[in-house]
């Protein structure tokens, strides 16, 4: 569903840049409970690459370390050139994009400088890719639409 516009559009796959905000969700919860000053919630704005061929959220390792995301395991990753590597997974990553936000796990990549935003993020936030105009837009501007069988 998220890449339907890409199939109909002039470009076969969507890959373009957007601005995202990353927030340490544990900090956000503590601030909402009054246990942490609002100004101490770790967050930052970062460039992200929307890639309709990617599945997961991938963050620069340095950004994740700076924001204090908790490591919860490792993932085996395979690159387009078929190389394999083991990468850390972090949790409680609150991501804000297109006026919507949700909490995700993320794979960390040591040499990245931007985030990689894959289908899981786009589906969760119910954002559609317009590959022709290289933009994202909500399917319904007022609410997330969930498809259930």
Structure confidence by residue, pLDDT tens digits, 76-93: 999 889 999 999 999 999
Read off the pTM: 0.88
* Residue-range domain boundaries for the chain: 4-120
Phi-psi region of 34 (alpha: psi -120 to 50; beta: other; left: phi over 0): left
Predicted confidence at residue 14, as pLDDT, reads 64
CATH architecture of 4-120: Beta Barrel (2.40)
Instruction: Give the whole-angstrom CA distance, residue 112 versus residue 131.
Output: 23
Give the count of beta carbons closer than 10 Å to the beta carbon of residue 65.
14
Predicted confidence at residue 13, as pLDDT, reads 58
Predicted confidence at residue 49, as pLDDT, reads 96
The token pair that represents 23 in the structure block: 């927030």
Predicted confidence at residue 6, as pLDDT, reads 56
The H or E element spanning position 21 is: strand 15-24
Is-contact 95 143, C-beta < 8 A? no
Spans of the chain below 70 pLDDT: 1-14
């Amino acid at each position: 569903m998220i890449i339907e516009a890409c199939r109909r559009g002039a470009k076969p796959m969507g890959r373009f840049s957007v601005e995202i905000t990353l927030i340490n969700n544990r900090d956000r919860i503590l601030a909402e409970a009054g246990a942490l000053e609002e100004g101490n919630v770790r967050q930052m704005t970062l460039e992200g690459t929307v890639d309709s061929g990617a599945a997961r959220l991938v963050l620069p390792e340095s950004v994740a370390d700076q924001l204090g995301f908790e490591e919860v395991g490792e993932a085996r990753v395979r690159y387009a050139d078929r190389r394999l590597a083991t990468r850390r997974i972090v949790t409680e990553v609150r991501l804000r994009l297109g006026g919507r936000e949700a909490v995700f796990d993320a794979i960390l990549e040591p040499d990245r400088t931007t985030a990689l935003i894959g289908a899981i993020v786009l589906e969760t936030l119910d954002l559609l890719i317009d590959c022709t105009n290289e933009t994202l837009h909500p399917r319904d501007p007022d609410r997330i639409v969930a498809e259930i069988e």
